[in-house]
């Protein structure tokens, strides 16, 4: 019990005390202090996870503090211990600990590094609170809390205008999605009269009995609530339509991108969907919707990733695309595989981001890939790490991506009729992923150096940054191999222990499909090598020939422009209209100012009564008094 | 309890005000006046802390009651007492008044004696509203509150203060006249001013509707509800910081308190009958004022408009007529009392240093005032309704309760959550982030006094956000009594 509470409280202690320590004992102490606390929590989480997976037990809920009173029932701050939460905790705490350590060196030249560590710890605490919650209120707390940490960290360099705007955008887009989430919570609450996640899942049958009339449609309560919960998940996980904030979020320091915008926070949406998997599978509509959104996102983000110039944005779009893969797995009913991919992706994507951070650090804060090239001789370890991460993401055999991604592809045959189609789309997206991942490798590490920064001064990063990379690379290589059996193998039923929905029968399909997908991926790699490794000039011709498509992709399908036109500008103009026309034009004109003019007319009339003669005044006083007395009599008589 | 604690609470500030105003002003320095005011109000705060300590949460009905006959014929008496609904508001008042005096230490130079006197009177009248169980006493205090408030805005306000006071006066006057008529009618009918007796009385349905509207006119102006809200931005902009703090912190709550204490128990039929109207007005208030707030150039105006939106949550919550809804509305009242007061103080801090409230005159303040930005952040987040701060609890409960009425209502209420985040983040970003403007480079960071009261306020918002049980325990029983 105590050790579980420790997992919850260590990040909190780090959040609260890092800043005072920094002020009192100096920056270095504070950095070591928070890194140590989170590392202890990370190691502890592995012990707890391993001992749990040896002998899975039913869910335990450890209350911490009474919190919320809803319909006469208090909901707690609490820790729910089960297979899903422990698995997530290992990922969250491990990546967080490594990012803490990495930041000691990465932020060494920054003036406010203690503030940075505090935010990182705050994020870790909120993420832990989100993962371990047993009720929707705490879940929402963590949900908004990680959003806050993300807002603070994206806008960390607050003198940069773009960073501030990106931070606001992230918070507001997430708010729009949270609006959906809140409605989902409210619907569940009104029909089931509870906010405890377990009780909601137990009451799922009951939900089917109710309908909600919305805009003239009778929608089943289950579908309605799941739909809006999923809207929340879409926002946090940057799915199609809500994705616009994620690439902009790359304005934050790179360790942040690794921790928040790759490994942990953005996967919260997948986590939520899986946590409510028992509810989601009950509606075909929801499952199809999740599947389609996942497919769309995977394809869209991969296409935009093609021609991005910023090294971090390429990885950001690939994150977006991989999140799409996870939702595809959810939509196919393979929730355990979604979580599996979530975990492996967490490791290799954090590796990719931190490696790119190492590159950016080495070339003196340059992020444009056009100004890089041939960095391999200068930073060999980083380059090898980047290669490992890239091989993992394209699913090179026996790397971690190979296991989880292939399982997603093969589970498309859970669908009877459209299975092959889904498989084909996923295979194409995988090939696209391979293309832009290798494009990145070749543009950055090989070829010719094009930058303006002095090539001789480019340097490899120090031990604090390389050690986390090495540890993550272990995860990127082996996580798939070790977790495969536990999460997706024959014994997985024991491990999950009823926590999530598990698909029962396995469909078999011809061996033609794996060969197809593998060869597509190989083609993608080959194209990247051909164009970016050897024939850059041919590429320019291609770009000219397909200029309109190229432009469309380069401008991210014009989503930002569209949103500005249909949401932001009209709202802004409406504000002006309501303020000047309605508030000042109508209400003020008729209510107070109008009545004021009446008053002044009356007072002019009264001026005439003020004659200055005692007689007139006495008359008015007496008549007024008579009136008053008669009113009192009237009232007391009736 | 025989100890007349409530009368003492009402009388202490009045006695203090009398002594102050009778002493000859030429001999007293401003600082002495403020210090004596602070001593009195702090004593008052400590005294009011006895209420939650000795209040028995398990019992129904009013406690610490005192009864003195006044007009025998109409059964109008000096009858005071408190329950779970009034105690937190009394505490909020006694907590905010010392802060108001603290923040005016430097900014109020002329007529300090009158200033402190009016604040003491104001405090006593507000407490009077919250403790009275007799309708006439309630009305007397309810109206008396306005006098010191007018004077505070009218004497120590900005350039355009006369227009603002005048607008404020017109709106409230119209409401009060109607309420007075309704009160006269009720007392002549029931033959008693006792609130509990009136609650048991059933009016003729048509008459009840009219009476409800009369009360509504007065309370809606105070809350303020759309479209009676336009006095608020002007009053806030013109008022001195301390005036805005008490106005947003406590005075706006008088209307909502009136709804819970009087309208709901008196007019059960009418409360249900007028539900749609109030929901419509509140939804408009939330969406409309939030959008208007987006375009404000003046910090105080923006926060004033946000107050209207936040109070929209309160009226929606109250008129869902459910336990959760009223709990949430009440929580939102207390939270808004703390947070909006804090936000006005935040504006006051930079106004005192830089003498402008225009958002565009500030940029990159965090570079020179990091502590200030820190506190600003906490209150901004609480205003946005981030979980873990007090702002979240009320909003969340209100949104939960609306769905039992209609999904559409939930939609409109929840849209307020998005819009609220938009304008507050915009405000925060424009003031604190970006390049440091040259003319604000010399701004000094918070003084110790400012840190002291901001810490108190921040602590309260966090405490109520993390452990709202404190407040829930206090109000739950009393609120369950007030709904049908």
The H-or-E segment that residue B65 falls in is strand B63-71
**3-class SS shares of chain B: helix, strand, coil, % to 5:** 75, 5, 20
- The answer to whether A492 and A334 have CB atoms below 8 angstroms apart is no
A452/chain B closest Cα distance in angstroms: 27
Q: Is the link from the previous residue into B224 a cis peptide, with omega within 30 of 0?
A: yes
Residue A290 pLDDT greater than 90, yes or no: yes
Residue closest to B17 by CA, chosen among B129, B147, B137, B131? B147
SS3 B68: strand
Q: Which residues of B touch A176 (CB under 8 A)?
A: 418
DSSP run (H or E) holding B289: helix B275-294
Distance CA B136, CA B120 (A): 22
Burial grade of B106 (CB within 10 A; 0-12, 13-18, 19 or more) = exposed
Per residue in B227-244, pLDDT (tens digit) is 888 888 888 988 999 999
pLDDT of the residue at A367: 85
A162 touching chain B per CB within 8 A: no
Predicted local distance difference test score (pLDDT) of residue B453? 92
Between positions 552 and 581 of A, the ones with CB within 8 A of B are 571-572, 574-576, 578-579
Residue that wins the pLDDT comparison between B293 and A559: B293
Q: What is the mean pLDDT of chain A?
A: 84
Q: Which of B182, B399, B403 to mutate to test the interface with A (most CBs of A within 10 A)?
A: B403
**Angle, in degrees to the nearest 10, between helices A335-362 and A268-275:** 170
**Chain B hits for A140, Cβ within 8 Å:** 387, 396
Q: Nearest 5°: phi and psi at A613? A: -90, 135
Tell me the range of A116-120, A537-541, B413-417 where mean pLDDT is highest. A116-120
Alpha carbon dihedral A308, A309, A314, A316, in 10-degree steps, equals: -90
A28's CB contacts (< 8 A; 6+ apart) are: none
- Give the highest mean pLDDT range of A85-94, A391-400, A411-420, A480-489: A85-94
Shortest Cα distance, chain B CAs vs residue A68, angstroms: 7
pLDDT recorded at residue A592: 64
Of the candidates A179, A596, A636, which has its C-beta nearest B414's C-beta? A179
Could you write out the DSSP letters of every residue in B376-403?
A: HHHHHHHHHT-TTSHHHHHHHHHHHHHT
pLDDT value of residue A636: 60
Cβ neighbours of A128 in B, within 8 Å? none
A186 shares contact with chain B (CB less than 8 Å): yes
The whole-number pLDDT of residue A273 equals: 92
What residues form DSSP beta bridges with A73? A70
- Single out the residue of A200, A202, A170, A174 nearest to residue A186, CA to CA: A200
Contact A140 B166 (CB under 8 A): no
Give the SS3 label for residue A217: strand
Nearest to B146, CA basis, from B243, B264, B49: B243
Q: Are the beta carbons of A302 and A234 closer than 8 angstroms? A: no
Q: Is B174 in contact with A583 (Cβ distance < 8 A)?
A: no
User: What do you get for the CA distance between the two ends of chain B, in Å?
Assistant: 29
- Which residue of chain A is at minimal alpha-carbon distance from B395? A182
Query: Rounded to whole angstroms, how far apart are CA atoms B215 and B439?
Result: 50
Confidence of residue A379 (pLDDT cuts 50, 70, 90): confident
Mutation site, B175, B281, B291, B394, interface A, largest A CB count within 10 A? B291
Q: Are A372 and A449 in contact (CB under 8 A)?
A: yes
Query: Is a pLDDT exceeding 90 seen at residue B342?
Result: yes
Q: E-strand spans in B232-370?
A: none
The mean pLDDT of chain B is 88
Q: Give the nearest chain B residue to A171 (CA atoms).
A: B421
Q: Name which of A385, A289, A273, A389 is nearest A338 in CA terms.
A: A273
* CA pair distance A302, A323, nearest whole angstrom: 11
Residue B1 pLDDT more than 70? no
Distance CA B388, CA A140 (A): 10
Question: d(Cα A186, Cα B402) in Å, to the nearest integer?
Answer: 9
How far is the C-alpha of A441 from the C-alpha of A433, rounded, in Å? Answer: 12
Structure tokens at B467: 């452990």
Mutation target to probe the A interface, by most A beta carbons within 10 A, among B188, B433, B463 is: B433
The answer to whether B323 contacts A579, with C-beta atoms less than 8 Å apart, is no
Task: Enumerate long-range contacts of A202-207, CB under 8 Å, 24 or more apart.
Answer: A204/A278, A204/A279, A204/A282, A207/A279
Gap from A205 CA to chain B (nearest CA, Å): 20
| B237 neighbourhood in chain A, CB within 8 Å | none
pLDDT in tens, A201-244: 888 888 888 888 777 788 888 898 899 999 999 999 989 888 88
End-to-end CA distance of chain A: 73
Cβ-defined contact of A67 to B468 (cutoff 8 Å): yes
> Under 8 Å CB-to-CB from B241, ≥6 apart: which residues?
B103, B104, B107, B344, B345, B347, B348, B351, B352
pLDDT band at A21 (very low <50, low <70, confident <90, very high): confident
Q: What is the mean pLDDT of the segment spanning A533-539?
A: 72
| Sign of the dihedral defined by the CA atoms of residues A208, A211, A217, A219, in that order | negative
| CA neighbor of A351 nearest in space, from A467, A485, A523, A194 | A467
Q: How far is B415 from chain A (nearest CA, A)?
A: 7
**What residues contact residue B443 under an 8 Å CB cut-off, 6+ apart?**
B350, B353, B354, B365, B368, B369
Reduce the DSSP state of residue B194 to 3 states and report it.
strand
Asked whether the beta carbons of A232 and A276 are under 8 A apart, the reply is no
How far apart are alpha carbons B240 and B108 in whole angstroms?
9
How far apart are the CA of A45 and the nearest CA of chain B, in angstroms? 25
Asked whether B250 and B379 are in contact (CB, 8 A), the reply is: no
Global pTM value: 0.89
Element housing B77 (H / E): strand B76-82
Structure tokens, B371:
């502590």
Chain A neighbors of B359, CB-CB under 8 A: none
Size (chain B), residues:
484
Tokens of A484: 């495969």
Q: What residues have CB less than 8 Å from B346, skipping those under 6 apart?
A: B372, B375, B376, B379, B454
Count contacts between A and B (CB, < 8 Å): 145
Which of A67, A578, A591 is opposite residue B288, by nearest beta carbon?
A578
CA angle B65-B66-B68, nearest 5°?
150
Residue A72: is its pLDDT beyond 80? no
* Distance of alpha carbon A382 from alpha carbon A460, whole angstroms: 7
Q: Which helix (H) or strand (E) holds A74?
A: strand A73-81
Task: Give the mean pLDDT of A11-28.
Answer: 88
Chain B residues in contact with A578 by the CB 8 A cut-off are 288, 291-292
Q: How far is B77 from chain A (nearest CA, A)?
A: 18
3-class DSSP string for B137-176? HHHHHHHHCHHHHHHHHHHHCCCCHHHHHHHHHHHHHHHH
Read off the pLDDT band of A616 (50, 70, 90): low
The phi, psi pair for B203, rounded to 5°, reads: -90, 165
Average pLDDT over residues A455-463: 83
Tokens 């009418």: give the residue: B270
How far apart (Å, rounded) are the C-alpha atoms in residues A18 and A33?
7
Torsion of CA B309, B274, B61, B129, to 10 degrees: 50
- Angle A416-A418-A422 from CA coordinates, rounded to 5°: 120
Higher pLDDT, B287 or A502: B287
Question: A443 near A386, Cβ under 8 Å?
Answer: no
Write the DSSP symbol of residue A486.
I
Q: Do the Cβ atoms of A254 and A349 come closer than 8 Å?
A: no
Is A164 close to B422, i.e. CB distance below 8 A?
no
Mean pLDDT of A176-190: 88
Output A417 or B423, whichever has higher pLDDT.
B423
pLDDT band for position A446 (50/70/90)?
Answer: confident
Report strand pairing: A211-214 vs A73-81.
unpaired
């Amino acid at each position: 019990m105590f050790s579980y509470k420790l997992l919850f409280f260590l990040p909190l202690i780090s959040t609260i005390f890092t800043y005072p320590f920094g002020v009192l004992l100096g920056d270095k102490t504070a950095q070591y202090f928070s890194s140590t606390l989170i590392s202890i929590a990370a190691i502890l989480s592995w012990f707890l996870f391993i001992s749990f997976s040896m002998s899975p037990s039913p869910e335990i809920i450890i209350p911490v503090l009474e919190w919320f009173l809803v319909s006469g029932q208090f909901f707690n701050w609490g820790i729910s211990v089960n297979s899903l939460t422990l698995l997530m905790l290992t990922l969250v705490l491990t990546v967080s600990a490594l990012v803490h350590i990495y930041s000691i060196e990465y932020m060494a030249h920054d003036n406010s590094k203690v503030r940075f560590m505090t935010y990182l710890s705050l994020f870790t605490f909120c993420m832990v609170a989100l993962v371990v919650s047993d009720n929707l209120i705490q879940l929402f707390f963590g949900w908004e809390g990680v959003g806050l940490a993300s807002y603070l960290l994206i806008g960390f360099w607050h003198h940069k205008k773009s960073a501030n705007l990106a931070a606001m955008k992230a918070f507001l887009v997430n708010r729009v999605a949270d609006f959906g989430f809140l409605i989902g919570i409210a619907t569940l609450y009104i029909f089931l009269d509870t906010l405890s996640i377990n009780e909601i899942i137990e009451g799922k049958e009951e939900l089917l009995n109710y309908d909600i009339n919305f805009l003239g449609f009778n929608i089943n309560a289950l579908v309605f609530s799941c739909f809006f919960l999923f809207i929340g998940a879409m926002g946090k996980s940057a799915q199609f339509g809500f994705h616009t904030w994620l690439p902009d979020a790359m304005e934050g320091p790179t360790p942040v991108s690794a921790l928040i915008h790759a490994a942990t926070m953005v996967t919260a949406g997948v986590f939520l969907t899986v946590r409510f998997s028992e509810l989601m599978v009950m509606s075909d509509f929801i499952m199809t919707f999740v599947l389609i959104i996942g497919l769309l996102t995977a394809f869209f983000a991969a296409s935009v990733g093609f021609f991005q110039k910023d090294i971090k944005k390429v990885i950001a779009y690939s994150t977006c695309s991989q999140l799409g893969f996870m939702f595809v797995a959810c939509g196919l009913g393979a929730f355990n595989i979604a979580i599996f991919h979530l975990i492996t992706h967490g490791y290799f994507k954090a590796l990719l981001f931190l490696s790119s951070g190492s590159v950016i650090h080495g070339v003196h804060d340059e992020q444009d890939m056009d100004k890089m090239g041939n960095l391999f001789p200068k930073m060999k370890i980083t380059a090898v790490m980047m290669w490992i991460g890239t091989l993992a993401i394209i699913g090179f055999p026996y790397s971690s991506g190979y296991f989880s991604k292939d399982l997603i592809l093969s589970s498309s045959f859970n669908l009877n009729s459209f299975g092959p189609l889904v498989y084909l789309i996923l295979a194409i997206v995988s090939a696209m992923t391979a293309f832009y991942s290798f494009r990145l490798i070749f543009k950055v590490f090989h070829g010719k150096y094009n930058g303006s920064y002095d090539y001789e001064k480019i340097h490899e990063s120090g031990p604090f940054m390389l050690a986390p990379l090495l540890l993550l690379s272990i995860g990127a290589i082996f996580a798939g191999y070790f977790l495969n059996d536990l999460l997706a193998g024959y014994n997985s039923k024991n491990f999950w222990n009823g926590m999530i929905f598990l698909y029962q029968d396995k469909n078999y399909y011809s061996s033609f499909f794996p060969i197809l997908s593998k060869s597509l991926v190989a083609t993608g790699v080959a194209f990247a090598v051909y164009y970016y490794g050897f024939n850059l000039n041919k590429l320019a011709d291609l770009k000219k020939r397909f200029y309109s498509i190229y432009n469309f992709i380069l401008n991210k399908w014009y989503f930002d422009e569209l949103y500005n036109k249909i949401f932001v500008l009209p709202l802004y103009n409406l504000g002006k209209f309501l303020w000047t026309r309605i508030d000042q034009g109508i209400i003020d004109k008729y209510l107070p100012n109008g009545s004021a003019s009446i008053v002044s007319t009356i007072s002019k009339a009264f001026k005439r009564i003020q004659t200055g003669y005692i007689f007139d005044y006495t008359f008015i006083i007496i008549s007024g008094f008579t009136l008053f007395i008669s009113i009192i009599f009237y009232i007391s008589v009736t | 309890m025989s100890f007349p604690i409530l009368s003492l609470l009402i009388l202490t500030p009045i006695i203090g005000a009398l002594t102050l105003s009778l002493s000859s002003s030429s001999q007293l320095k401003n600082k002495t006046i403020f210090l004596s005011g602070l001593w009195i109000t702090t004593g008052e705060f400590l005294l009011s802390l006895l209420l939650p300590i000795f209040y028995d949460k398990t019992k129904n009905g009013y406690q610490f009651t005192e009864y003195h006959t006044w007009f025998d014929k109409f059964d109008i008496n000096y009858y005071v007492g408190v329950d779970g609904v009034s105690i937190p508001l009394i505490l909020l008042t006694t907590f905010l008044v010392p802060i108001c005096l603290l923040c005016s230490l430097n900014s109020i130079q002329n007529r300090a004696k009158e200033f402190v006197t009016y604040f003491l009177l104001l405090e006593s009248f507000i407490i009077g509203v919250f403790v009275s169980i007799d309708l006439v006493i309630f009305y007397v205090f309810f109206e008396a509150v306005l006098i010191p408030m007018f004077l505070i805005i009218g004497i120590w306000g900005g350039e355009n203060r006369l227009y603002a006071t005048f607008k404020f006066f017109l709106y409230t006057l119209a409401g009060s006249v109607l309420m007075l008529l309704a009160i006269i009618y009720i007392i002549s009918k029931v033959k008693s001013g006792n609130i509990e007796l009136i609650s048991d009385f059933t009016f003729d349905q048509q008459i009840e509707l009219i009476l409800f509207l009369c009360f509504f006119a007065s309370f809606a102006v105070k809350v303020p509800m759309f479209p009676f809200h336009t006095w608020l931005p002007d009053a806030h902009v013109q008022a001195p910081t301390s005036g805005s703090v008490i106005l947003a912190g406590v005075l706006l709550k008088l209307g909502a308190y009136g709804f819970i204490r009087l309208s709901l128990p008196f007019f059960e039929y009418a409360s249900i009958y007028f539900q749609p109207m109030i929901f419509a007005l509140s939804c408009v208030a939330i969406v409309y004022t939030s959008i208007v707030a987006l375009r404000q150039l003046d910090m105080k105006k923006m926060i004033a408009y946000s107050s209207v939106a936040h109070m929209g949550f309160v009226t929606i919550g109250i008129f869902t007529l459910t336990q959760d809804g009223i709990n949430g509305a009440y929580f939102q009242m207390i939270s808004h009392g703390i947070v909006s007061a804090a936000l006005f103080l935040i504006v006051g801090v930079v106004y005192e240093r830089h003498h402008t409230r225009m958002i565009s005159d500030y940029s990159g303040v965090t570079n020179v005032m990091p502590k200030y930005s820190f506190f600003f952040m906490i209150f901004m987040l609480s205003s946005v309704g981030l979980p873990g701060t007090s702002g979240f609890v009320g909003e969340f409960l209100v949104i939960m309760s609306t769905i039992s009425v209609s999904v559409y209502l939930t939609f409109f209420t929840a849209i307020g959550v998005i819009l609220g985040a938009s304008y507050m983040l915009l405000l925060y970003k424009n003031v604190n982030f970006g390049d440091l403007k040259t003319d604000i480079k010399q701004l000094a960071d918070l003084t110790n006094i400012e840190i002291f009261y901001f810490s108190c306020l921040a602590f309260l918002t966090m405490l109520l956000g993390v452990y709202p049980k404190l407040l829930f325990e206090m109000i739950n029983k009393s609120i369950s009594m007030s709904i049908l």
